[in-house]
Amino acid sequence: MENQAKEILRQVFGYQEFRPVQKQVIDSVLEGVDSLALMPTGGGKSLCYQIPGLVQEGICLVVSPLIALMKDQVDQLRAKGILAQAIYSGMSYREIDRVLNNCIYGNYKFLYVSPERLKSDLFLERFKQMPVNLIAVDEAHCISQWGYDFRPPYLEIAAIRAFHPKVPVLALTASATPQVLEDILEKLQMKKPQVFRQSFARPNLSYSVRIVENKLEKGKEILDRVAGTAIWYVRNRQATQQIAKALHQMGISSTFYHAGLLVKDRTERQELWMKNQVRVMVSTNAFGMGIDKPDVRVVIHSDVPENIESYYQEAGRAGRDGKKSFAVLLCSEEDLEKLMERAALVYPPIDFIKKVYQCLANYFQIAVGSNMLSSFDFDWGEFAKTYHLGVLETFYALKVLEEEGFIGLSESYYSPSRLHFLVNPQQLYEIQIAHVRLDPVIKMLLRTYGGNLFSEYIKIQESKLAKILEMKESELIKLLDRMAQLDIIDYEKRKDKPQITFLTGRYDAAKLPLNGRRIALRRELTLEKAKSMVMYAHQNLICRTQFIQEYFGEKTDETCGICDWCVEHKKDPRALDLKLRKWILETLGQVGELEEDSLINQVNYSNANRASEILRQLIDEGQVQCTSGGILKLNSDE
């Protein structure tokens, strides 16, 4: 199997060698062992399940919450001649039924599913019959309520293991703290798991923070100094346009990207950037996921991300080719204060959450007990405006309803129209005779797409087909709708809007079973994560890479040598000693009394031995007192 894996790596994916940790993970999975891989952004996670899925007989089930990413993966695999399918919100019952049948009886190798699908009877009945060789759980941190992106439907994954008890599970995540890793192992019921960790250190990535008021000016200065492609992240859509326009006026080639743009515009801008015809992509965090551009030289953030996990993933899109790159956070003191204020709003009062749920039921006219797993196009800004609700508060309430497992929200993604014949060729011939107006459309569809229309859902473009028939697109759509009404075809129209899916039957809003204790815990956790982000921006006693490593539980004495802290330390080591002295005295002043180990841990200096030396100096100078019991405190005579 090892030789086969290497051959697939070269022949199918075009790589000569496995990356660090990849091979160990693949070997573990091929041995049938439950495995957890912690591989930072750009580490090649998808190959860890794609290669075992191809080496072994049967089909690999991939659970992922990111619809756009699932669609990209399916398209990429199909382009390589590999049969893959995906099931996600917005698909019709018929189409899901067809996809699941293909996975049982066809020679399909990969089925991607969004987690909310795992408890539907339709999925479970077919899943039992599938020849499954591996269950891969992408973005596995979503299973943990201690993570930054908790998704309750992920808790269903352990339940489906019972239908294929001998099939191993592979959990993959790019960013998880030790507490989250433990939670993943427990919630996925992993048996004697192998855990693989790739270091969070990126030796070629220089992190820095600039506390500034004029971010545009500082950003331009950075772009003038660092040649090559860049991503500039901001929080809101309006800012993407403003900054891109300002950069353009300054002579820097740039464009903007956010989920509210038309698909055509998004695709076009992404392509220009990918081909280096546009240098800077100014974007919300809607951009970057699953985009493999190795030569990004700088990632700038001019709004502070909500937590270290998000920042690490977004900054990590720089320098995937191993060459020196830069991740720069531009912020003001006011930004850091606002981050803490916003973190306090993330979990709104229970009554407001129930009110938003009631408004959703009214908005979509859903009766109590109905509409489980129904999906609708959904613009939450428009929804909030309709019911005179605060836009930000509504967004956060919707996210809580998602975390509590009542709804699923999917990002805006493009899904082209799809069509499938529901009748056999003989019945179709009879329909052509009986419905003369439909005959030219049916003939054109058969000429264009052939017999595959009878066996699977085919992507179509109404505008192109209308040109062939020399009719208006609106007229063709009417005829296709008529064919769908007559049950000749299943016609799924293109989508380009976010979706909301009701994961349970509708509750009476007053009796909505929200978990108040869990919500309170998540509120506290959100504040803690925001505090860590503020600490990252403010701290000046430790290498930035070390700070990130230690946040994720990776202990190290090695500094990166290229972040802003390391560069300053090289210039003037004594200045950092003075900061350390001040920090020790301030810590003891605030806390009162501490043991030496506790003090050194709290100070969190990159070199523990150096911190101890400075402490000895302060004791020798009489500024700090050490009692016979080893307790340190400020000298009261000072």
* CB contact at 8 A, 33 and 192: yes
pLDDT tens digits for range 380-399: 888 999 999 988 899 999 99
Q: For the sheet containing 417-421, what is the strand order? A: 458-460, 417-421, 489-492
pLDDT at 263: 73
Helix (H, G, I), strand (E, B) or coil at 171: strand
Helices and strands (H and E) in the chain: how many: 27, 22
Which residues, in sequence order, are CB contacts of 218 under 8 Å at separation 6+?
210, 212, 330
Of 87, 91, 30, nearest to 62 by C-alpha is 87
Burial 349-381 (b: 16+ CB within 10 A, else e): eeebbbbbbbbbbeeeebeeeebebebbebebe
Cα–Cα distance for residue pair 68/48, rounded to 1 Å: 20
| Residue 573, pLDDT score | 66
Spell out the residues 6+ positions from residue 609 whose beta carbon is closer than 8 angstroms to its own: none
State residue 603's pLDDT score.
64
* pLDDT at residue 577 is higher than 80: no
pLDDT for 437 beyond 70? yes
Sorting pLDDT into bands at 50, 70 and 90, what band is 637? low
pLDDT higher than 90, residue 409: no
417-492: what fold? Arc Repressor Mutant, subunit A (1.10.10)
pLDDT band at residue 110, thresholds of 50, 70 and 90? very high
Q: Are 618 and 627 contacting, i.e. CB atoms less than 8 angstroms apart?
A: no
The matching CATH number, chosen from 2.60.120.260, 1.10.3720.10, 3.40.640.10, 3.40.50.300, for 205-331 is 3.40.50.300
The predicted-structure confidence for 42-79, as pLDDT tens digits, reads as follows 668 899 999 999 999 999 999 998 877 888 899 889 99
Q: How many CB atoms lie within 10 A of CB 584?
A: 26
Q: What is the pLDDT of residues 131-182, one digit of tens each?
A: 999 999 999 999 998 877 888 889 889 999 999 999 999 999 988 889 999 9
Domain chopping of the chain, boundaries: 2-197, 205-331, 341-414+497-519, 417-492, 567-634
Cα–Cα distances in angstroms (integers) from residue 203 to residues 368, 450, 490, 542, 563, in the given order: 55, 53, 52, 16, 10
User: Residue 530: in which H helix or E strand, if any?
Assistant: helix 516-538
Q: Does 173 or 618 have the greater pLDDT score?
A: 173
With CA atoms as reference, report the closest residue to 8 among 92, 80, 65: 80
75 neighbors 24 (Cβ within 8 angstroms): no
DSSP β-bridge partners for residue 593: 633
Percent of the chain with pLDDT over 90: 62
Q: Is pLDDT of 253 > 90?
A: yes
The mean-pLDDT minimum among 271-280, 341-350, 575-584 falls in 575-584
Least confident of 5-19, 251-265, 410-424: 410-424
Average pLDDT over residues 453-472: 91
Domains 2-197 and 567-634 share a fold: no
Beta strands in 309-423 (DSSP E): 325-331, 374-377, 407-410, 417-421
pLDDT score recorded for residue 560: 93
pLDDT digits (tens, 9 = 90+) for 318-364: 998 899 999 999 999 999 999 999 999 999 999 999 999 999 999 99
Residue 516: enclosing H or E segment and its boundaries? helix 516-538
Architecture of domain 341-414+497-519: Orthogonal Bundle (1.10)
Cβ atoms within 10 Å of 596's Cβ, excluding its own: 16
pLDDT band at 483 (very low <50, low <70, confident <90, very high): very high
Is the confidence at residue 589, as pLDDT, over 80? no
CB-based burial label for 246 (10 Å; 0-12, 13-18, 19+) = middle
Which whole number is the average pLDDT over 589-613?
72
Could you tell me which of 589, 598, 590 has the C-alpha nearest to residue 624? 589
Identify the sign of the CA torsion 175, 176, 181, 185: negative
pLDDT, tens only, 498-535: 889 898 899 999 999 999 998 999 999 999 999 999 99
Class of domain 2-197: alpha beta
Is 622 or 127 the better-scoring residue by pLDDT? 127
Topology annotation, domain 567-634 = Arc Repressor Mutant, subunit A (1.10.10)
Token output for 190: 């992993």
For residues 136 and 160, is the Cβ–Cβ distance under 8 A?
no
- pLDDT, tens digit, 9 for 90 and up, residues 52-61: 999 999 999 9
